[in-house]
Structure 1
Amino acid sequence: MFGVFLCTFSMQAQEYFPTNDGVKTRNTNYTVFKNARIHVDPQNVIDNGMFAIREGKITAVGKSINVPKNSIVIDLKGKEVYPSFIDLYSEFGISKPKRAENGNGPQYDAGREGYYWNDHIRPDTEAIANFSFDSQEAEKFHKAGFGVVNTHVPDGIIRGTGMLVALTPGVSEGDRILNERSSQYLSFDKSVKSRQSYPTSTMGTMALIRQVYLDAKWYANGNARNKDLALEALNKNKDLVQIFATDNLLNEFRADKVGDEFGIQYVIVGSGMEYQRIDEVKASNATYIVPLKFPDAFAVEDPYLANQLSLEEMREWNQAPVNLRILSENEVPFTLTTHSLDAEKDFKSNLLKAIEYGLAKETALAALTTVPAKTIGQDGKIGVIKEGAWANFLITSGDYFDKKTTLYENWIQGEKKVLSSMDVTDITGNYDLKVDGETYELKLKGEPSSPKAEVKLGETKIESKLSFSDNWMNLLLSSPDTTKTEFIRLVANIPSKTDQFSGKAILPNGNETSFQAVKKTDMKKEKEDEEKEENETSSTIAVTYPNIAYGFRNKPKQENVLFKNATVWTSEDAGVLENTDVLVRNGEIVKVGKELKAGGAKVIDATGKHLTAGIIDEHSHIAASAINEAGHNSSAEVTMEDVVDPTDINIYRNLAGGVTTIQLLHGSANPIGGRSAILKLKWGESAEDMIFEQAPPFIKFALGENVKQSNWSGSRFPQTRMGVEQVFTDYFSRAKAYESTRNDEDFRKDLEMETILEIINGERFVTSHSYIQSEINMLMTVAEKFGFNINTFTHILEGYKVADKMKEHGVGASTFSDWWAYKYEVNDAIPYNAAIMNEVGLTVAINSDDGEMSRRLNQEAAKSVKYGGMSEEDALKMVTINPAKLLHVDDLVGSIKTGKQADLVLWNDHPLSIYAKPEKTMVEGVFYFDIDRDSEMRNDIKKERNELIGQMLKAKNNGVKTQPVTKKEEQRVHCDLLEEVK
């Protein structure tokens, strides 16, 4: 008897459980739906099909199924059924993390005891511990067709676990949770809960993630002496789906790069701009979660404001709607997210817009159902209408992807959410309304459950008020004579769909009569015309590489070229050769001489023109998304290769100035900066393809006012020049000690120490930002103490004072031609500096450190002809072969010599003249700049801008939402620029 009692109690407990609305009884009967057009999945449809559900699951589906006894049968004749949608990137039910209060200064150490050394690494965060069901927010998802979301705490770089939640109305929290540890989330954004400074840049974030992965593996092998709860959590989460949130296209590739290094295939939350680099997107092999958000058109009526609008912004508005179609055509798997959208208002309209621009409906449905289900490991359980799957489905009036279709109900885990009554008669349409001897034009539009009325009598608009409930219509018509306060009141019961209806009319004098409304016979044509007008899409502008002004429609290809009769500045012992030919094949210089034969190569008549090697800028900050990692006084673990921006217009401008190679340097925020990226300026190529692969590795050091934070309110060590010296001594000493532990069983790989060891061991070269003689001497002394040499002093404005010591040390110089007095430590700069160092026998280069000056490095080099009497040939060498020597690539570039890479510039005048212009700039046999093509592109840009402005004006006239034009100032990038990671 006692056992029976327990069993009975257990059964009752399963049928009654707490919900947000109190106690609810579970329905254990079968519910059968019949006569529906069932979209089982995106590829399979059953016409006049049936399916049954019980206790939240689908028990049967087919053309005909057995109907169990006591089943509730619902007739869905004329209706369609779809699987409910799934959103994999959501913050649903999670309170916004609170930002840490500002303290009295920057925070360098972690604030969490027992966790990783960096507060922004939070894999221990669990969505389930922070979750609370939000009924109002859930309803917005319901109305957009969603039944399941994957939610997480949007805080930190490694953010911890997400949870998969069914948006089931009226059940307990536990019943909604499909997977409490569904995935792990990552991002490039820091935690708002901590003020810890590091990282301050995207490259710092990438370096930190790399170090975390290395540390997690080391920790998993049992090498740690102390418990680390963050690393334990990361190791626990490593087999989960890894979702990486990004905010722009370049960061998508950066995330994938880190994943590839550690054998992790991220699911990438994209930007919606994947179409711009679709080949790279496809090569990532990632599944993308794409926000269904498109830029608004701009208000361009004011010609002055329209001129402030960049072509890039205009193109994004025009091209973004084709993104999903391009992804689909290239077989890139993707899902859709409502993130950053008002799901209720914007989701469907944007989805339909994507379909108008070529996205197939089946693909759209897959991106909302089967693809996210498979991605999150719930294949066959959600996103389909199949036996054994959760009973998550939508009931619609017709094709969901039709603008006119009504979403009636959203069932989630077998629980019904009514969004619009299925019993409502659809009375929308255009009618002739006859009442009291007058014929009005009545237009009923909007949702069938809440239509709106527009009424006209002849050309006069009649004020009206419509209410429609339970198929009863009440319509109030004002008098055409606005001086009179008179109304006609119409009332009618409309029990079923019909092309006409009638009812009672009460006239202003109180008399009763009847009215009749007859749908216009040409309504079908009017609907077609309306839909044609609404669906009229703007012609899409072709993508260029990069997708901004002066990008290439088709990437230029390598050519075999013979330059004839040029004045050739070899930058070699051969000097300047008159009336000389240079033959280029397969990206290399194969012959230099007179009367050369073309042998099928393209011939360029260079008579009266000058041919030089491509200019090399030893110190540049163009083509970068970040310059400084300022969180620590050493950032040797970061690399500029991580933040190359191949879309920077300064690449093209530099090519127009004859520059073909640059050293992209870290800034001067700390004594030991980040690793360099040596780039070939291959405009239109990817960041990876711009890397000069044969160049040896470099790193940036810095001395002087910037690193001791003289020009901003920093409190980080060092604060003095003697502190700077101590930083170097400390880190080199640590690196030597680190090297001695490499054979230990519990050895922990440290990316920062590995880089500093490369310096000490002569495997990585140092370019050091410097100004005054005392610090120049100091760094050479410290380097010699640890057995290595400084490779290059850059800036080096007091180099003329210590040139003899520099020569003895073996260091080169890369300097400005005539910059001085722009801060205290350059007060002793002189324009004779380069010439004096050159006379002493140093390898001297002229650099820019400036995106504007870099376009005129030939003129900067020419200044030393005046200041110091340097020969013209030696002056040109300071921007060609000398920087090549400083970068240890002089066997490949920097001069015109057989066997070298064909990085060449054809000038219309003497290359040191202020009147000289590059007509053609070649990198490895490819013309990335051509002055004639440039002229054509300028005309094309004007035409394209006018076309896009016309499209935007038309869009605004059609009622499309617009945004104001805001002028974006171009940022001038120098050594001290700080990027702040959010």
Structure 2
Amino acid sequence: MKTAFEKHGAALLSRGVAYALRRRRSSLLLLSLLIAGSYAHAQETYPVNGIADPKDGCFAFTHATIVKDAQTTLSNATLVIRDGKVVDAGPAAAIPKDAVVVDCKGKYIYPSFVDIFTTYGQAETRRGSGSWNAPPQFLSNTKGAYGWNQAIKSEVNAAALFSTDESKAASLREAGFGTVLTQQADGVARGTAAVVTLAAAKENKVMIRERAAAGYSFDKGTSTQNYPNSAMGYIALLRQTYLDAQWYKSQPAREGVNLSLQAFNANQQLPQIFEVKDKWDALRADKIGDEFGVQYIIKAGGNEYQRIAEMAATKATFILPLSFPGAIDVEDPADARFVSLAEMKHWELAPSQPGAFEKANIPFCITAADLKDAKTFMGNLRKAIEYGLSEQKALEALTRTPATTLKIYDKVGSLEAGKMANFLITSGPLFQENTVLFQNWVQGNRYIVKQDGWNDIRGIYTITLTPGNSVTVEVKGSVTDPSLSVLAKDTVPGKIDVNGKLVTLSLSMAKNSKKTVRLSGLIGVNSWSGTGVDTAGAVVRWEAAFSRAATVKADSAKKPAPPALGPIYFPFSGYGWDKLPQQQDILIKNATVWTNEKEGKLENTDVLIRAGKIAQIGKSIAAGNARVIDGTGKHLSAGIIDEHSHIAISNGVNESSQAVTAEVRIGDVLNPDDVNIYRQLSGGVTASHLLHGSANPIGGQSQLIKLRWGQSAEDLKVTNWDPFIKFALGENVKQSNWGDRNTVRFPQTRMGVEQVYVDAFTRARDYEKQGPGKRRDLELDALVEILNAKRFITCHSYVQSEINMLMHVADSFHFRVNTFTHILEGYKVADKMKAHGAGAGTFADWWAYKMEVQDAIPYNAAIMHKVGVVTAINSDDAEMARRLNQEAAKVVKYGGVSEEDALKMVTLNPAKLLHVDNRVGSIKAGKDADLVLWSDHPLSIYAKAEKTIVDGIVEFDRDNDLQLRKRIADERTRLTQKLLGEKKKGTPTQKAAFTREEMYHCEDLQGGHQEGLGL
């Protein structure tokens, strides 16, 4: 089988260029071609079918500008390679006598690139969804002594699955790559990856390291198993796998043989690469790494520049893709309105990501991953350079950094003696717009990327026609696109076309002359020759003698300034901050203050805030240096606390795959970019209790957050609070409305629900009694915390019989149900709830939206309150949360509850239910300054939250909101014009499409806005 080089050599010969190939330089190139081809096929352990003819290849590339690495450039230097390895590189490098000499005058030599995130040579994996009507799959169906979950594929070895693919290798070589890390991108734990070169040789010859890294992701890939089916489930599975692997290592006899855990432990010695989809996933991955002492290498999603400070804090090396979003077609205003400002800004700012990482001194590699076509790689890289990435750092991110990260810098990544002969030959500086990549040498084998332009034919020539006259011509332009001019009294443009060694010319002898000579021939070293015809059709012979080199003007144009870019907002939303606001000392003067304390409602009163706390309440308080806000005619209340919310959650509110999922945590999947945080601040909400959904009897752990708009996920969390967990009763957990295929998961009846609780707490009690060496179980850890009053229950509930049942189970196991939420039949069991010590979070007047709420009444909250149950009004809905003050007012209407007690149902009472009433929920000196300044009576439908303050920071200001709306309009106009300009230039565009927000309710099974179970 012929190599590409042998085929190319035969093609040249068949095209009649034997004359030129007799020249010294061309003969040497052909010789190198033949030797390289023989070397590529040399084998040691493989049998030879024919006559063995091994050859050693030695080459010397002279007169080149050699870029040994990103810091070292050598002028007029020589690169010597032998047997696929670098022998020497430098101005004084000795040329061996047996070397094939390749003159590279005017050319540049660089190390070939290294890509450490590819699936090159791996079979395509297809996500396994199974039949649409197939029943749930609870256990792995993988044959063999492997782990219980198919998403853990740590036993997969990419080296064993690898097969060379010349078509894909060629596309990567043309982008400048010579070495890649290949892995099977499938599963939460993906097994090992191998380092291979892109040479056209057998697998054993191109493999540099068979176990070079281990891979991870938040995606179960081809697994058809139900668990996990949410982002928090992926995280819990990975955390549990780390714990199981540690336990297996210390107690192997208890588990028997588990090949998945064996491999997981063995893989921990390798570099750990974690693929994420966005900036928040990057931080989630890093948090897991911190928990288990692992420093991940993070393959980024593309928007990490939006939180560059947090990325730097991870101390991780990143792998940055260059798959920038395409321009959006916004020419039609009807389409343009569907495009969010965040999408527009991301289109503009995404190419600045590599430059932002460089500026922040975050180590990173660059990958061609995620590109639909590797041919766009170099163009996107140049765009990144245009947007702020330095050329030196670009080269470093493609050579030394990836090689060092994978611990293979002794083999590739620079042009030093002993390393593989993987290098590029270009026409000029690599990252310049018109630079041509001629050849990519991999393991000492030459791969031609572009042939035209290898010989720079630009210069002054004298063309002699026989019969005829002589004429002087100038060839200029670029090396791959030359142009021709006749240098006579007037310069006359001509035409030239070069194809390898073949050249065709068309030229006029004088300006405006109709006499044109058409010539064709061969390009030699210093002269050209051939035949042609004149205007009359007479045959002429011609020769072109080289006179002198053309004066090629250096590009005197200044490097264009980086494009003007809009600011990054925190969060990345139209309503985000240019800079995060800081705490202020604030004095609110002369307001009606609803204290929620024994002082009640205070007229014409001042409240002073210092260092995020309420410092003083009274009249005529001195402001000092505090900012003064006039509260005359306005009302000041404690911030609203939503005891039951599902905002700011990413990729699933339910881990619905199992009946008990106490191991999953809402706190792992917070989404600080959710605009509902801002919207609810505009309604006076300052804190939200984010709950797992109601798909299973024992759901996941909840998270209390403060609405600190613009902060990171960790900074949203309320610290040092009693942790909670979500339980559920009723139709949802027994899967009444899940469809015919979901009749397998236990429980299917209300009786079964009770047994799930009894079984879970029996297991937890037994687990707690186990001695040293027990397997740590994250699910049972949470249940043991409940038994020990260290974690508290919020339970989705409707029907009195089930409410009684759960209180009975709790009494049997000596724990307490902290809160029954929804509880629309709470009025029937209020006395029992009080005796048990349970509180209530309910709707004001929802009923009749499914069978188990037929007995709901609008007097429910008032009845429970009057019996003495701590009662709150909550939302379970992103829209309702914006008007919880009005929902509380309904309790006044229906139940005759006092206005102050009604306001407490959305402020102090939820604080009590969440065990944070010592910090929030009322206006009292020493408490957190979480306050709302209302334009009117806070229970009025006319009341607007003019200012919402969290920890002494004005997070929402209605006047500022008006300015933000103008800023959004101006920014949209600017970006719309920029996008229209891209379309006008001919840039490919993508159709504008509406992107729906993630907005969850209790019953959503997979994603927001999908059909759920019914409220």
- The two structures have a TM-score, normalised by structure 2, of 0.88
Confirm or deny: 8 A CA contact 2:194 2:210 kept in the other structure. yes
Tell me the matched-pair count: 940
Of 671, 696, 709, which residue of structure 1 is paired with 2:722? 696
Q: What's the counterpart of residue 953 of structure 1?
A: 980
Could you tell me whether the CA contact under 8 Å between 2:162 and 2:203 is conserved in 1? no
Residues 18, 24 of structure 1: 8 Å contact kept: no
* Distance in 2 between residues matched to 1:427 and 1:862, nearest whole Å: 86
Q: Is the 8 A contact 1:708 1:719 kept in 2?
A: yes
Q: Deviations along 1:492-545, whole A, 9 cap, x unmatched?
A: 5555799xx998765787456899999xx999899877x98xx67642111010
**Correspondence 1:62 to 2:90:** yes
For residue 870 of structure 1, report the CA deviation from its aligned partner: 1.1
Structure 1 runs not aligned, ≥5 long: 1-10, 437-441, 455-461, 478-486
Report how far residue 444 of structure 1 moved.
10
For 2:125 and 2:50, locate their aligned partners in 1 and report how far apart those are by CA, in whole Å: 29
Write the distance in 1 (CA, Å) between the matches of 2:189 and 2:306: 28
By how many angstroms is 1:385 displaced? Answer: 0.5
Residue 376 of structure 1 aligns with an amino acid whose one-letter code is L
Q: Out of 600, 603, 612, which is 1:575 matched to? A: 600
Identical aligned residues as a percent: 49
Of 777, 784, 798 in structure 1, the residue corresponding to residue 825 of structure 2 is 798
Match of 1:457 in 2: none
2:452, 2:498 within 8 Å by CA — same for their partners in 1?
no
Q: Which amino acid aligns with 1:157?
A: V
In the aligned structure 2, how far is the partner of 1:23 from the partner of 1:240? 42
Distance 1:709 1:630 in 2: 10
Instruction: Determine which of 945, 948, 956 is the counterpart of 1:918.
Output: 945
For 1:119, the equivalent position in structure 2 comes to 150
Instruction: Label 1:99 to 1:321 Cα distance change in 2 as closer, same or farther (>3 A).
Output: closer
Aligned to 2:172: 141
2:224 to 195, 198, 216: 195
Q: How far, CA to CA, are the matches of 2:454 and 2:291 in structure 1? A: 58
> 1:969 corresponds to which letter in structure 2?
R
Give the TM-score, by structure 1 length. Answer: 0.90
Give the alignment's Cα RMSD to 1 decimal. Answer: 3.3
Pick one of 421, 426, 431 that aligns with 1:396.
Answer: 426
What whole-Å deviation, never above 9, does each CA across 1:447-467 have from its counterpart, x for those lacking one? 82x88999xxxxxxx9x9996
- What secondary structure sits across from 1:802 in the alignment? helix
CA distance in 1, matches of 2:284, 2:40: 55
Pairing 1:208–2:237 present: yes
Q: Please give the residue correspondences for 1:224-263 in structure 2 after superposition, counting only pairs within 5 Å.
A: 224-263=254-293
Partner of residue 329 from structure 2, selected from 285, 295, 299? 299
Matched, 1:218 2:244: no
Is 1:678 the counterpart of 2:704 in the alignment? yes
- Give the AA of the match of 1:85: F
Secondary structure at the aligned position of 2:895 is classed as coil
Letter in 2 for 1:733: T
Tell me, in whole angstroms, the C-alpha distance in 2 between the residues paired with 1:371 and 1:632: 43
CA distance in 1, matches of 2:573, 2:974: 15
1:462-488 per-residue CA deviation (whole Å, 9 max, x = no partner) reads 9x99963233234799xxxxxxxxx99
1:861 matches 2:920: no
TM-aligned CA distance change 1:968 to 1:342, over 3 Å: closer
CA distance in 2, matches of 1:361, 1:72: 32
Q: Note closer, same or farther for the CA distance 1:488–1:120 as it changes in structure 2 (3 Å cut).
A: farther
Q: Following TM superposition, by how much is the alpha carbon of 1:446 offset from its aligned partner in structure 2, in angstroms? A: 8.7
SS, match of residue 468 in structure 1:
strand
1:355–1:99 distance in 2 versus 1, CA, 3 Å: closer
Residues 887-938 of structure 1: CA distance to partner in whole angstroms, max 9, x if unpaired?
Answer: 0000000000011000011111111111111111111011111111111111
Which of 363, 371, 383 is equivalent to 1:341?
Answer: 371
1:591 aligns with 2:586: no
Amino acid corresponding to residue 259 of structure 2 in structure 1: L
Note the C-alpha offset of 1:426.
Answer: 5.3
1:731 to 740, 760, 763: 760
Alpha-carbon distance change, 13 to 703 in structure 1, aligned in 2, over 3 angstroms: closer
Mapping 1:357-756, distance limit 5 Å = 357-421=387-451, 424-425=454-455, 448=480, 468-474=498-504, 491=520, 493=522, 495=524, 506=533, 510=537, 538-625=563-650, 626-713=652-739, 714-715=742-743, 716-741=745-770, 743-744=771-772, 746-756=773-783
* Counterpart Cα distance in 2 of 1:875 and 1:926: 26
Decide which of 176, 181, 186 is 1:155's aligned counterpart: 186
Deviation at 1:603, TM superposition (A): 1.2
Letter in 1 for 2:865: N
Deviations 1:397-419 (A, max 9, x none): 11010111111111111111122
SS in structure 1 at match of 2:881:
helix
Contact kept, 8 Å, 2:107 with 2:428, in 1: the verdict is yes
**Cα distance in 1, alignment partners of residues 305 and 269 from structure 2:** 30
Deviates most, 57-66 or 576-585? 57-66
Other structure's SS at 1:590 match: strand
- The 3-state SS of whatever aligns with 1:61 is strand
The SS at the match of 2:102 is strand
Of residues 790, 800, 809 in structure 2, which corresponds to 1:782? 809
Q: Alpha-carbon deviations, 1:369-427, whole Å to 9, x = none?
A: 00000000112321100111111111111101011111111111111112223764557
Q: Name the CA distance, whole Å, in 1 between partners of 2:476 and 2:884.
A: 69
- Paired AA for residue 409 in structure 2: D
- Partners of 1:452 and 1:200 in 2: CA distance: 61
- Alpha-carbon distance change, 12 to 619 in structure 1, aligned in 2, over 3 angstroms: closer
User: For residues 721 and 488 of structure 1, do their structure 2 counterparts lie closer, same or farther at Cα, with a shift above 3 Å needed?
Assistant: farther
Establish whether residue 831 from structure 1 lines up as the match of residue 858 from structure 2.
Answer: yes
Change (3 A) 1:978 1:428: farther
1:860-884 Cα distance to aligned partner (Å, 9 max, x none) = 1011111111111111000000000
Kept after mapping to 1: 8 A contact 2:475/2:550: no
3-state secondary structure, aligned to 2:69: coil
Q: Is the 8 A contact 1:199 1:205 kept in 2?
A: yes
User: 1:38-66: per-residue Cα shift (whole Å, max 9, x none)?
Assistant: 11110111111122211111122222023
Q: 1:819 aligns to what?
A: 846
User: Is the contact made by 1:20 and 1:172 (CA closer than 8 Å) also made in structure 2?
Assistant: no
Whole-Å separation in 2 of the counterparts to 1:573 and 1:656 = 28
Contact 2:427–2:454 at 8 Å: present in 1 too?
no
| Worse-superposed segment, 29-38 or 677-686 | 29-38
2-structure distance, mates of 1:515, 1:29: 39
Q: Deviations over 1:86-140 (max 9, x none)?
A: 0000000001125547253110012134111111111100011111100111000
Matched AA of 1:827: Q
CA distance in 2, matches of 1:527, 1:43: 23
Shift of 1:35: 1.4
Contact 1:546 1:683 in 2 (8 A): yes
1:50 is paired with a residue of what secondary structure?
strand
Gap change, CA 1:833 and 1:229, over 3 Å in 2: same
User: Is 1:768 matched with 2:768?
Assistant: no
Aligned equivalents of 2:925, 2:65: Cα separation in 1:
73
**Deviation at residue 173 of structure 1 after TM alignment:** 1.7
By how many angstroms is 1:599 displaced? 2.3
Contact 2:453–2:479, Cα closer than 8 Å, also in 1: no
- Does residue 902 (structure 1) correspond to residue 929 (structure 2)? The answer is yes
User: Could you tell me which residue of structure 2 aligns to residue 879 of structure 1?
Assistant: 906
2:511 aligned partner: none
Task: Note closer, same or farther for the CA distance 1:24–1:834 as it changes in structure 2 (3 Å cut).
Answer: farther
Match of 1:809 in 2: 836
Q: What's the CA shift for 1:346? A: 0.5
Whether contact under 8 Å (1:505, 1:515) holds in the other structure is: yes
Match of 1:107 among 115, 137, 144: 137
